[in-house]
Amino acid sequence: MSPSVDLDDWLTQMGFFGNPFEALEATKDPYLHECFIEPEGFHDIVGHANNPRTTILFAPRGGGKTANRVMVDHWCQRGVGVGGRIFSIAYDREALKDLYLAHGRNVQAHHHVDAILKCASTAMFQYLTRYPEQYTHTLFRSRRYLHSLMQTYLDNRTIDLTLERRNLLSDRLNSTRIRQAINDKMLEQEIFGQMDLRGQSIVGLILSMLSAPDERVRIGPIGCRNLLVDFGDLALQVGMDAVYVLIDGVDEFAPFDKDPSAAATFLRSVFEDLALMELPRVAFKFFLPNEMQKDIIGREYVRSDRVYWREVIWTQTKLMEMLQARLGVFSHGSISTLGAITEKDFAGSIDSELIRCASWLPRNVLRLGALLFEVHVAEASSNSALLTRNDFDVAFTRFRGEDEDLWWTKMFGSAE
């Protein structure tokens, strides 16, 4: 094979429509729901809308924490297999990092509730602008609560991103113009005049939420739980049956990326508030690294008899299923093993060898697979289009030389 062959051309030649190893970040993988391999106990982690239950999923770094969180969110949005529709709130790396920067290690449960409500407000705003008819179902008390959430937490960036997704953002229609229109009826009429009924419905909803009497949310140690209960009531009125708070990424920024015990302490105030963990219609779903397990399970402040937890353990069989699923999805089912695109002398062992060299971790399987394909097209040692043992050896040498922390920084930015 000519060393000048482009990777995309080679993938097409082999029968792939894309690179099965390209999406190393679960949140950016559009085919994750087709490639996902459920770990043991996944259905218990997902739970049921009729009986929301706080759960913890532990997994090794690179072992699928975020993939599981994304899939729980996927199940919630589909409302299939969970007994109803579940409103999911992503309380993730960026929100947790912002909270740490604001309060340091002195964070308390009401600080977490404040950060969660900010994420919840953005999610609810995006949901209602997608389904504005649901707003009409809200009763006065919940509508008033919704308005206070939006006035407290809704920023211009969220409005503009939502307008952009609804194909409404323009020089004449943006968050600044919408806020100006609240006190300028002539401007409001001008904005409505340039839109169809769908656009008028969405912008009218935004104006309604922002122009209501200013009653901002006030968070304190007393009563913070009630604010989440109220959010559960609001979710019920807009067509949902339960609310999940999906907590993921606490180990992905400094100092918690190097200190699992400190990360556990950062979440301690949530765990030790049993009433918060057992709210009606609201459940917390934690996706945490294995290193935090010893600082959570068995501690006096965590009622392990009341909180379901599960540890993800990857086996050769499970990783082989994952590899086969990815290859199959990206080849429309025509390729299920790397051996099918490997020269004969190495075809029978390349799949198991890749999994072993990846230390039985899903993310490492993707990293090593991506390197294998890159090496093959860049440094092919034969005229064959098929993968070779030499390709694998070179890729594995490069893989071992990659520092995990440097790779993480390259993918997600500095942990600082």
**Could you report the per-residue pLDDT of 131-158, keeping only the tens digit for each?**
999 998 898 889 999 999 999 999 999 9
Instruction: Give me the pLDDT at residue 414, please.
Output: 52
Instruction: Give me the pLDDT at residue 407, please.
Output: 52
Tokens of 57: 């999923």
Instruction: Give me the pLDDT at residue 86, please.
Output: 96
**Could you report the per-residue pLDDT of 77-109, keeping only the tens digit for each?**
888 778 899 999 999 999 999 999 999 999 999
Instruction: Give me the pLDDT at residue 81, please.
Output: 76
Q: Which residue has the higher pLDDT, 335 or 40?
A: 335
Confidence of residue 382 (pLDDT cuts 50, 70, 90): low
**Could you report the per-residue pLDDT of 39-52, keeping only the tens digit for each?**
988 999 999 999 99
Q: If you count them, how many residues does the chain have?
A: 416
Number of Cβ atoms within 10 Å of the Cβ of 41: 15
pTM: 0.91
Say how far apart CA 89 and CA 72 lie, in whole Å.
Answer: 11
406: pLDDT strictly greater than 60: no
> In the predicted model, what is the mean pLDDT of residues 316-335?
97
Say how far apart CA 334 and CA 18 lie, in whole Å.
Answer: 13
Instruction: Give me the pLDDT at residue 157, please.
Output: 96
3-state helix, strand, coil in the chain (%, to 5): 55, 10, 35
Instruction: Work out whether the CA dihedral 23, 26, 32, 37 comes out positive or negative.
Output: positive
**Could you report the per-residue pLDDT of 9-66, keeping only the tens digit for each?**
999 999 999 999 999 889 999 999 999 999 988 999 999 999 999 999 999 989 999 9
DSSP state string for 89-158: EEE-HHHHHHHHHHHGGG--HHHHHHHHHHHHHHHHHHHHHHSGGGGGG--HHHHHHHHHHHHHH--HHH
Share of the chain above pLDDT 90, in %: 76
Least confident window among 33-42, 293-302, 306-315: 293-302
211: pLDDT strictly greater than 60: yes
Instruction: Give me the pLDDT at residue 380, please.
Output: 61
Cα atoms in the Cβ-side hemisphere of radius 13 Å centred on 136: 6
Q: Average per-residue pLDDT in the chain?
A: 91
299: pLDDT strictly greater than 90: no
305: pLDDT strictly greater than 80: no
